[in-house]
Amino acid sequence: MKSILLGATILAAIGANPVGAATLIDVQDVGSILNESLALPAESSPGSGIGFSEFFEFTLPTTETVSVSMSDSAFSNSLKIVDGVLSLNTETSIGPGPLFIPAGALLESTPLVNTPGGQSAELNPDVLAAGTYFTELAGMSGSSPIHLAIDGTVTGVSGVGAAATPELSTWAMLIAGFGMLSMFGSSRRRTDLNLG
C-alpha cells in the first residue's frame, strides 16, 4: 500500500497529472494520544496548482481535550497553499483502496492564515470521547512547483471532568478520615465524662 501511495506522490510531483485535476491522498496514523503531543508526519504538497488533501488519523483511548495545529514555511505567495483549510473530524469509516479516504462528521475547521514565516492554522481545544478521529489539511498548491513542507501536532490532555468525580481510593481515604475523626471525638467525650 505504501508503494502505491509513494508512486502516486511521485507522479503528482513530476506533473504526470493535469494541473488542477489531481488530488493527492495520503493516509497516516499518528497513533493513540494520551496526555501528550504527537507530531503529524511531515508531508509535501504536490506540484504547482494542484488540489490536494492530507489526512492524519489518530485514536483516543479515553476522553481527552484535543487541539490540532499545523504550519508551513511558505515565504512567498507563489509557494503558499491557496484556500487552505484545516479540519477535525470523527472517523466513522474508511473508503476502499488504494486511496483509503476516511469519512465522518466535521467537528471544526479553520482557514490557514499567513504568518511572517509562512502559513499556520490552529483548531480550538475540543473535548472528544474515546474513539477514532482524523484531521485534514486541504487546499490548492501554489503556482510554484517547489513543495511545501507541512508539519503539525495533535495534542491531547486527559482527565476532562475527572476532578468532579473522585476515584474509589479518594472515597476510601475520605471515609477512613471521617471514621478516625468519629473515633477520636467519641473517645474524647468518654474521657470528659470520666473526669466530670
Q: Which domain holds residue 173?
A: 166-196
Are 131 and 116 found together in one domain?
A: yes
Confidence of residue 182 (pLDDT cuts 50, 70, 90): low
Structure confidence by residue, pLDDT tens digits, 135-149: 999 999 888 876 777
Instruction: Report the number of distinct structural domains present in the chain.
Output: 2
Nearest alpha-carbon partner for 157 in 36, 10, 11, 28:
36
Q: Which helix (H) or strand (E) holds 158?
A: strand 149-158
pTM: 0.69
Are 176 and 155 found together in one domain?
A: no
Query: Picking from 47-56, 109-118, 163-172, which range would have the lowest pLDDT averaged per residue?
Result: 163-172
For the record, the C-alpha cell of 192 comes out as 470528659
Structure confidence by residue, pLDDT tens digits, 85-126: 999 999 999 988 777 889 999 999 999 999 888 999 999 999
